[in-house]
Amino acid sequence: MIQIEKLSKLTKMITIKKIHNGLIKSLKAPVGLEQIGRNTFQLATPFEFRDGDSIVCYIEISEEHIRFTDWGHTLMHISYDVDITSQTRKEALEHVLAIYDLEYNKGEIYTDCSIQEIGFVFRDFIQGLIRISDISLWKNTRNEQDN
């Protein structure tokens, strides 16, 4: 795999600009892009969890693909409120991952795409994270129904 740091500075800047413009065009909203590693950028988006915390997402760029990842933040966030290891919640997680074509490994939720797909894939990624975070509402709904 050829890493982006091996690309020329101009090619790297053009690639990052294309990604940034693609996200803004797709979302029709401001998107911040802050470099936090050689090939890694944190995205600042207008999306939030129900409690007002920002949805955290990153882009990892390689010559082969662009990866959107939450670095495990989404499941960590909802684990404060509910046990995400129950069979029902695991099945719900797998269902949402399948709907939005997302991958899961050791708590991290991610998806890979080409630069041409960036807008559509990012919307699905964010929508998937929002749907996954909704799993934390099950606790409140069930408690209200029991009363």
19 CB burial (10 A radius; 0-12, 13-18, 19+) = buried
Residue 23 sits in which domain range? 4-138
| CA 66/CA 33 separation, integer angstroms | 14
Q: Judge contact between 44 and 35, C-beta under 8 A.
A: no
In this structure, is residue 146 part of a structural domain?
Answer: no
CATH number of 134's domain: 3.30.1460
Q: Which amino acid is at 114?
A: S
Tokens representing 93 are: 């997680």
- H helices present in the chain, as ranges: 9-27, 73-79, 87-99, 118-133, 137-146
In this structure, is residue 145 part of a structural domain?
Answer: no
End-to-end CA distance of the chain: 56
In this structure, is residue 40 part of a structural domain?
Answer: yes
In this structure, is residue 124 part of a structural domain?
Answer: yes
Q: Which has the closest alpha carbon to 46: 126, 114, 106, 115?
A: 126
Q: Judge contact between 4 and 63, C-beta under 8 A.
A: yes
pLDDT in tens, the chain (147 residues): 344 455 566 566 777 888 888 887 877 778 888 999 988 999 988 888 888 899 989 999 888 899 999 999 999 998 888 888 889 889 999 999 999 999 999 999 999 999 889 889 999 999 999 999 988 787 644 444 444
In this structure, is residue 144 part of a structural domain?
Answer: no
> Chain centroid to CA 28: how far?
18
In this structure, is residue 35 part of a structural domain?
Answer: yes
In this structure, is residue 120 part of a structural domain?
Answer: yes
- Please give the model's pTM, rounded to 2 decimal places: 0.81
In this structure, is residue 147 part of a structural domain?
Answer: no
* Residue 19: per-residue pLDDT: 85
| CA 31/CA 61 separation, integer angstroms | 17
What is the tally of structural domains in the chain? 1
Residue 28 backbone zone (phi > 0: left; psi -120 to 50: alpha; other: beta)? left
